[in-house]
Amino acid sequence: MKFFIDTANLQDIEEAQALGVLDGVTTNPSLMAKEGITGKENILKHYLDICNIVDGDVSAEVISTDFEGMVREGEELAALHPQIVVKLPMIGDGVKACKYFSSKGIKTNVTLVFSAGQALLAAKAGATYVSPFLGRLDDVSTDGMHLIEEIREIYDNYNYQTQILSASVRHTMHIVNCAKVGSDVMTGPLSAIKGLLKHPLTDIGLKQFVEDAKKMNL
C-alpha cells in the first residue's frame, strides 16, 4: 500500500519523506489556507515546492465547479510538473472533466467520494485515483471501512485500474485496516504515519538493550 501525506505543510512533508516511506502528497484548498498560502502565484509555487521534496504523485485540486473551469484549471496545474495529479470533485462536471483528462493522458484524483456508486462512475471515467472519505463517514456513524471494501470488490470484479486512495484517514488503525482490505493508497496526517512506529513493548525492549549495553563497557 502506498503512503501519501495529506497536508500542505512543507516541514511535515519533509519529515515524512525523510522516513523513507512516503509515496506522494494530497492537498486541497482547505489545507492550503491552513498554511496561509493565498494567491494564485503563491499556490502554484507551493505545488512546485512540494514536487521538489517528494518523488511521487502530488494531487492539486481545482477550485471551479463547472466543466470548462475545471479543464482550464486542471490543464494549468498539470503543466506545472509531471508529478501533478488533477484533483476533481465527484459531481457531474467533475466526472466529465475526469473523462476529458484521462483521454489526454493526464492523471486525475476524483475526491469527495462517499458511495460505491460514485467510485464506479469515477473508474468508468478513467480516474487514476478515487478518494473515498472514510473518516468523514465514521463521523456520521457510518462504517467508512465498509465502503473501501465495497469499492475493492467492484474494482476487482471488473479489473478497473483506478487506484483506491483512502482519504480522511485519522489514526493508525485506519491505516492498518486500509492495508488489510486492499486499499491501494492511504492519505493521512504525519501523526497517523508516525503512530505506526509506536508500541510500548518496543520502548521497553530498547530501554533494556541500552541498559545492558552499558554493562558491556563497549
d(CA 202, CA 44): 42
Distances in whole angstroms, Cα of residue 127 to Cα of each of 32, 89, 97:
23, 12, 10
d(CA 54, CA 18): 10
Q: Is 124 a catalytic residue?
A: no
Distances in whole angstroms, Cα of residue 197 to Cα of each of 86, 102, 206:
32, 37, 13
d(CA 16, CA 4): 9
What residue has cell string 521538489? 52
Active-site residue, from 87, 96, 107, 194: 87
Per DSSP, what are the bridge partners of residue 164? 130
- For the annotated catalytic residues, the residue numbers are 87
